[in-house]
Amino acid sequence: MAVVRWFREACWLTAGRAWLYGGILLTVPAIYLSAALVRVVGAGADAEPSLDFMAFHAASSLALGGDPAAAWDRLRHAAAQGLSPEQGYFPFLYPPPFLLLCLPLGLLPYAWSYLLWIVVTAVACILALTAYRPAPWPVVAVLCVLAPASVQNVANGQNAFLTTALFALVGLLLDRRPGGAAAALAVLACKPQLGLAVLPGLAAARRWRVILLGGLAVSILVGISWLVLGAEAWMAFFATMGTGPDALHSGQVPLWQMQSVQATLRGLGMPRVAAYVVQICATAAATVAIVVALRPRPGGRAEVAAMAAAAPLMTPYVFGYDLTLLLLPLAWILAEARRDGFLPWEKLGLALAYVLPGVSIGFVLFAGVGIGPVAALLVFGLVMRRIRVCGGAARLGADRV
């Protein structure tokens, strides 16, 4: 019983020891992050490193050159990256509104554009998470940038900092500025696979105004992209909507790169159909849990933390860098715990959830299969319990801020 209590209460995990243990654990991601940055910055203008960011930069360059629809053309988009579809290239799978966000990237050389993208989105993520008050901003910045999933995001030049910042912004605005929350959700619609919990969650919490305004904001964003990029861009996007799933199912994208429930089960040898059946069951179970937990309307921050925690469990297409989104529910739990005290097992759970995406990388390297759903399931469980046990206190806390 003493051993169980030692883990359950984790009294040994004080702030000072957390810095010590964290400093040791963060050494590896810090080295990896530095190597990723040096790889891009030191490559020079004539040697663009092969990163996911190439898709964003090439799409922007094509759009600025007067041919936005070429971003969804395999041959022209690959040529803009100096590659070919046969050799392998980085496709642009996002809808035209996301290309609007990427437009400035093509104004700069590749390395500078990459740095601008990473710095701006990282700062946005840090500021948004700091507003939840889990810790002083320097601590939030270190934990955010050196989280294992965040390091993967930087190494690939991906958009996980942006999606995390937008989710966090929705939580900050949901109670008092529904229009602003709706606008942030409209931008998030550019990555719909991470928003499967949003509509059920908003409906369960009776956020009808946000739903209506969100639909209006999406329509406006679509209209702006239509005017700026042209109808041809939308036609090209619709013509290639099946490219992403086809690439995943055909093996063009290695299964181990995904961190979803179905990908993990398939990596363990389960047949594809059976893995997708389990994925559907996981999505349905998470949806039911979200609806039940958010019916009492525990407050915008709690509601969005639950949606963000559920996202990696509900979609069959989630990559390692997408687990950066779990930093939002972790920040919310830590902020609540600092005010009202930690629940049993919560300290240990937070620490494990933070490092598990890094452990998943190790499993990928040595076993060829990720365990991303374990981290997502742990965070989701912590959020659901915190809402159930402290829902009223969380709501009052949100009102006081």
DSSP-assigned states of every residue in 351-364? HHHHHHHHHHHHHH
SS3 label, residue 59: helix
Confidence label for 103 from pLDDT (cuts 50, 70 and 90):
very high
| Confidence band, pLDDT 50/70/90 cuts, at residue 390 | confident
**What pLDDT score does 18 carry?**
57
Whole-number Å distance between alpha carbons of 152 and 358: 9
Q: How far is CA 243 from CA 134, 157, 238, 247, 263, in A?
A: 40, 21, 10, 6, 18
**Cα 233 to chain center, whole Å?**
26
How far apart CA 349 and CA 380 sit, in angstroms, is 11
- Its pTM stands at 0.89
CB 84 within 8 A of CB 106: no
- DSSP alpha helices (H): ranges in 240-297? 243-250, 261-267, 272-294
Note whether 309 and 380 are within 8 A (CB).
yes
User: 189 pLDDT exceeds 50?
Assistant: yes
Q: In this predicted structure, what is the pLDDT of residue 399?
A: 42
358, pLDDT greater than 90:
no
- For 246-299, what is each residue's pLDDT tens digit? 666 655 667 777 889 999 999 888 999 999 999 999 999 999 999 999 999 999
Picking from 135, 331, 98, 372, the residue whose alpha carbon sits closest to that of residue 221 is: 98
